[in-house]
Amino acid sequence: MIRILRVVADSLMRAYLQSTWTRIGLGLLLAGAGPLLFIIVAAAVGLWPDPNPNPIGPGLLFFFTFWPAVICIVIGVVRVRSRSVQRP
């Protein structure tokens, strides 16, 4: 029973990741949040020269890419689900 659920979940995840909208959304999310998260982690570990950075540029990049990324991911999920519901 668990194996069947795992196969179904894997096939759904594969379908989501094959959607162009979902890929674009994940790419935007990674490109927007990556630099900011890198600076935060590097400052926490001590690799960044300033222990209390104020990353305005990466923060603005995240601000302007977060919601478009979420919208693209939602569009991708809705399209994949509507395709799977239409198929018998």
Residue pLDDT, tens place only, 17-63? 899 999 999 999 999 999 999 999 999 999 988 888 999 999 999 99
- Which residue has better confidence, 18 or 1? 18
Integer Cα distance of 39 and 53 in angstroms: 8
Structure tokens at 8: 């179904």
CA distance 17 to 15: 5
Q: CA 29, CA 74: separation in Å to the nearest integer?
A: 13
Burial of 69 (0-12, 13-18, 19+ CB in 10 A): buried
